[in-house]
Amino acid sequence: MKPITRIAPSPTGFLHVGTAHTALYNWLFTRKERGKFILRIEDTDIKRSTSAMSDVIIESLKWLGLKWDEGPYFQSDKFPVYKKYADLLLEKGAAYFCYCTPEELAAKKNEAILQKKTRKYDRKCFNLSDDEKKKLENKNKAIRFFIPDGKVSFEDGIHKRVERNSDDIEDFVIFKSDGTSSYNLSCVIDDHELGVTHVIRGEDHLVNTFKQIFLYRAFGWEPPKFVHHPMILGTDRSKLSKRHGAVSVLDYKKQGILPEALVNFLALLGWSPGDDREILSLSELTELFSLDRLGRTASVFDIEKLEWMNGEYINKLSDEELLNRILSLPESRQPTTENREYMLKVVNILKSRMQRLTDFMKISDYFFEDPTQYESVGVEKSFKIPEINQRLTLIKDRFSELSRVGGHSSPEESFNLETIESAIRELAGELGIKAALLIHPIRLALTGRTGGPSLFHIIELLGRETVVRRLEKASLFLNELK
Ligand code: GLU
């Protein structure tokens, strides 16, 4: 039988990386087994759910490349159906009306906390006499599920046999007095109606699963296979939350993380291919995935590892593709038709130095504008040398002598890597100094920085005219420095 799985996010917030992690495992398992993957939006909490958030969730899953085969279904479309099933449980005596107000329930909970007693619902409404129930008939009422005595257990795909005593579970509300259903009821009904065979979700749902098993029993339905995978932890080993930085998938997009890197990274947080391979595409992951390789221990969301992985993916993209991805960032400068070629070359030079797409904006400025300041360490080390101005003037003259070709789009024969490098090395030789004593100040003059890619490549790309202008500007700065 082909598996049917689902991801069931609640649109009360953005798509959390934890939900993306769960979606990915469902997706990989389903693709591998050629089953069906469903998207269900669990928007039964009508006060906290918004359609804008549903849109964001849908957009985030699309961005990650986790396409679903069916849906999205919206649970808020189905309240009458859930009500019908809640009524069925009432009829069967598996559920009862509860007339307690939220204030009453909150007061009881507070009291129980003070007295260090169980906080379970005390079954006040279950124990009402028929007369009392009659009097309350027209009052606002919720429907509660009656937890029968005994034990509840199931075979989990990761935890193996898990068991809970029903004393530890309270009679929970399945249908609220405002006409909406609660998560456990609508989840069970939909998983059943959609024919879900495997419920793969985070370990934080184990407590719900016990309640859901009771519901399956009460309806007389076969429960699906459950797989509760460990949660992702923050660096302090507590559950990953906003305290640890970005948790929304779209924030990672905004911060220049590639979807293929995020997917690869998330896949390895709790699953391993069985060897030490770390860079795996979505299709490789699909090929290798199996539920039995899901681990029991939670993994830490290590942002440095994600950045490293992202850098690996960036480096593998073609210049053209990488430029397109950079240009899709809202803060990116947009090329004019004539400087697109130039931008492609800049991308090529900087590619291996980027860990995020957004790094491009931070490290490429001098390819587009003359530097407006020079790094102070550089000024101390490379500019505060008595002969410096004379040396920069000499190299500027050598560059000027290389015939008047070059420029942004076509660094030609006479102003190319080879001629540039020999001009610098020859001058160093004539002056009897190491080439580095020219290279460092030239880099500072041209880029404002002390580090970066190969200087000869930078010079070639900037073109003779820009290089000469920037060397002249540096001379003016050096005159002021005196
Ligand atoms: N709406 C629930 C959540 O977002 C779904 C849990 C489940 O997969 O059953 O956590």
Give, as one character, the DSSP assignment of residue 380: I
Q: Per CATH, which fold does 80-175 belong to?
A: Glutamyl-tRNA Synthetase; domain 3 (3.90.800)
Distance 202 CA to ligand 1 centre (A): 8
- CA distances to 65, 414, 446, 458 from 464, rounded to whole Å, are 45, 10, 11, 11
Nearest residue CA, atom 10 of ligand 1? 9
Using the predicted structure, report yes or no on whether residue 411 has a pLDDT greater than 50.
Answer: no
Rounded average pLDDT over 355-363: 96
Helix 340-350 to helix 319-327 angle (10° resolution) is: 100
Q: How confident is the model at residue 403 (pLDDT cuts 50, 70, 90)?
A: low
Using the predicted structure, report yes or no on whether residue 406 has a pLDDT greater than 70.
Answer: no
Which ligand 1 atom minimizes the distance to the CA of 208?
9
Higher pLDDT, 365 or 338: 365
**CATH number at 376-481:** 1.10.10.350
Write down the pLDDT at residue 410: 45
pTM: 0.92
Burial of 313 (0-12, 13-18, 19+ CB in 10 A): buried
- pLDDT tens readout for residues 425-456: 999 999 999 999 999 999 999 999 999 999 99
Distance 126 CA to ligand 1 centre (A): 29
Q: Which residues are catalytic?
A: 242
Distance 389 CA to ligand 1 centre (A): 67
Nearest residue CA, atom 7 of ligand 1? 8
Query: How far apart are alpha carbons 292 and 301 in whole angstroms?
Result: 22
Distance 228 CA to ligand 1 centre (A): 12
Question: Do 1-74+184-315 and 80-175 agree at the fold level?
Answer: no
Write down the pLDDT at residue 413: 59
Which ligand 1 atom minimizes the distance to the CA of 204?
10
Write down the pLDDT at residue 409: 41
Write down the pLDDT at residue 475: 96
Which ligand 1 atom minimizes the distance to the CA of 191?
9
Distance 8 CA to ligand 1 centre (A): 5
Which ligand 1 atom minimizes the distance to the CA of 187?
9
Give the DSSP H/E element, type plus range, for residue 57.
Answer: helix 51-64
Residue 29: half-sphere exposure toward Cβ, Cα within 13 Å: 27
- pLDDT tens readout for residues 275-300: 999 999 999 999 999 999 999 999 99
In this structure, how many other beta carbons lie within 10 angstroms of the beta carbon of residue 129?
8
Nearest residue CA, atom 3 of ligand 1? 9
Lowest-confidence region among 4-8, 24-28, 416-420? 416-420
Choosing from 187, 188, 213 the residue with most ligand 1 atoms within 8 A of its CB, the one to mutate for a pocket test is: 187
Lining ligand 1 with CB less than 6 A are 8-10, 42, 187, 201, 205
Give, as one character, the DSSP assignment of residue 16: B
CATH architecture classification, 1-74+184-315: 3-Layer(aba) Sandwich (3.40)
Kindly report the average pLDDT of the chain as a whole number: 94
Distance 393 CA to ligand 1 centre (A): 68
Write down the pLDDT at residue 335: 76
Choosing from 6, 7, 10, 249 the residue with most ligand 1 atoms within 8 A of its CB, the one to mutate for a pocket test is: 10
Which ligand 1 atom minimizes the distance to the CA of 42?
1
- pLDDT tens readout for residues 236-287: 999 998 888 889 999 999 999 999 999 999 999 999 999 999 999 999 999 9
Domain ranges of the chain: 1-74+184-315, 80-175, 317-362, 376-481
Query: How far apart are alpha carbons 177 and 254 in whole angstroms?
Result: 41
- CA distances to 23, 269, 396, 480 from 469, rounded to whole Å, are 54, 51, 9, 17
- pLDDT tens readout for residues 30-80: 999 999 999 999 999 999 999 999 999 999 999 999 999 999 999 999 999
Peptide bond into 11 cis (omega under 30): no
- pLDDT tens readout for residues 79-117: 999 999 999 999 999 999 999 999 999 999 999 899 988
Q: Identify whether the C-beta of residue 227 lies closer than 8 Å to the C-beta of residue 157.
A: yes
Phi-psi region of 330 (alpha: psi -120 to 50; beta: other; left: phi over 0): alpha
- pLDDT tens readout for residues 146-199: 999 999 999 999 999 999 999 999 999 999 999 999 999 999 999 999 999 999
